[in-house]
Amino acid sequence: MYFVNENLHKTENPRWPALLAELQSLRKGAGLSPWKVRHSSELRTIIALQTGIDAEALSPAQIYEYLINELTSLGDSIEARATRNAFAVNLKTPSQSLMDRRDDFARQLGRHADTVEIYENHGIDEIANRLLTFAAYDYEGSRDTTSNTSERKQPSDVARTMITQGMSELYSLGTHASEIHKFFDRQPIPYLDTDVEWLLQASDKGEEWYRYTLKYTFRSKKDAYRIGIVASTHDCEILMASGVVDDVIKLNRNSDRKDEIKSIVQACHFVVHDTEHGNRTSLDFRELSSDECDTLLGAIWQIDRLQCNVIEVRIPQFGQGVPPVYEYSQVFDMRTDEHYAYWYAPGLMYLNNITIDFSAFPNKEEWKFFMLPFLGPIFPGALEPTAYRYSLTARNWIMQGHGFALTWQEAKD
């Protein structure tokens, strides 16, 4: 349940009546559309004040997407859903009549249509309040400094909204534009200037094992680096997609969980390179407590919490000088009878170079190897093999899940 901010009194803001009337009008008929908002002069002016864009430069599509974003950000309360229903947002079978949409929603809730209309009006009041709280201007157009600044939309929110609108026009995203930022919000801070080294070498455990060594260096803005530890492929995919961890490790089948986690903590390493002062700091991973895991993973209901652990390092913060370079590495012993190994990007990443070297793989002459890249459009023609070693100079963006797989099978005479 949300409540309209009472810090901004409706009767004291000269823009309130006109804005409210426009929003109420936009829900009528078939609902919200770019075509309908082109005549919403008050809405155009207020969005221009919020974004710093000249009102005449705002297109109907931008105004429409801005309002869609506001409707989406209302949340999932009954009032929020009733308001989106009134504006025909994200409806599978939108009707041409506001009354029909209201009646359908009322039947779904088991409420009277008049009650649903009250919900809608609460939602419209909330949107109007949000728009006016950030850009509260008096008759002369000066900023009202008495409004509650904690309620104002942050610059990052405004930037996100305008980027969404710009991408909508550039790529013709239509009504799906308001959803595009959700993908990036999983891990909004990318990995920059990343170099990846992936080695598959002989293991001290014997010929039936190989040593998997992964190291990558990158720049980013992070206060922690977290690794999820799960027991199933399903939990691995869900946790990685959530964006709350930087990497996920799936435990070996039939393994002792406690011993495996202890080994993983010892096998993962994180180093901070202070390139401005030439310092190098190694950080130790630690396992989060049950309470800490519950707090971190509480919203991810799809995973089995009892079968999910997290380890992390806390990263020291630096000043405004040259940003540090981070180095993450992991070393594991794996069985050769699995017949595959892979690496994939843990998030949005600008990849400089990647090197894959399995020239020291145990008994490599007995195997036939196959390299399977899945790097999207940057791959074609860029892979250069040289005797069990592959190198790729990408200098391009890759997405979470892009990477390489290596498979092998017994070589036949």
pLDDT in tens, 125-172: 988 888 887 544 333 344 443 344 334 445 456 566 666 666 666 666
**Whether residues 26 and 164 fall in one domain:** yes
Let me know if residue 332 belongs to a domain. Answer: no
Q: Domain limits at 124? A: 10-185
Do 37 and 136 lie in a common domain? Answer: yes
Mean per-residue pLDDT, 316-331: 83
Q: Model pTM?
A: 0.61
Question: Does residue 159 form part of some domain?
Answer: yes
Q: What is the 3-state secondary structure (H, E, C) of the chain?
A: CCCCCCCCCHHHCCCHHHHHHHHHHHCCCCCCCHHHHCCCHHHHHHHHHHHCCCHHHCCHHHHHHHHHHHHHCCCCCHHHHHHHHHCCCCCCCCCCCHHHHHHHHHHHHCCCHHHHHHHHHHHHHHHHHHHHHHCCECCCCCECCCCCHHHCCCHHHHHHHHHHHHHHHHHCCHHHHHHHHHHHHCCCCCEEEEEEEEEEEECCCCCCEEEEEEEEEEECCCCEEEEEEECCHHHHHHHHHHCCCCEEEECCCCCCHHHHHHHHHHHEEEEEEECCCCEEEEECCEECCHHHHHHHHCCCCCCCHHHEEEEEEECCCCCCCCCCEEEEEEEEEEEHHHCEEEEECCCCEEEEEEEEEEEECCCHHHEEEEEEEECHHHCCCCCEECCCEEEEEEEEEECCCCEEEEEEEECCC
Residues 262 and 404 in one domain: no
**10-59 per-position pLDDT tens digit:** 546 788 889 999 999 999 998 998 888 888 999 998 888 877 778 887 78
Residue 200 placed within a domain: yes
Name the range with the highest mean pLDDT among 92-96, 116-120, 321-325, 408-412.
Answer: 116-120
2 within a domain of the structure (yes/no): no
- Residue 359 sits in the same domain as residue 308: no
Structural domain count of the chain = 3
Do 175 and 283 fall into the same domain?
A: no
Q: Are residues 313 and 379 in the same domain?
A: no
Is the residue at 62 inside a domain?
A: yes
Considering the domain architecture, whether residues 155 and 279 belong to the same structural domain is answered as: no
Over pLDDT 70: what percentage of the chain? 79
Same domain, 24 and 155: yes
Are residues 193 and 294 both part of a single domain?
no
- Is 347 a member of any domain? yes
Within this chain, do residues 38 and 131 fall inside the same structural domain, yes or no?
Answer: yes
* Within a domain: 258: yes
Q: Does one domain contain both 193 and 179?
A: no
What pLDDT shows up at residue 178? 63
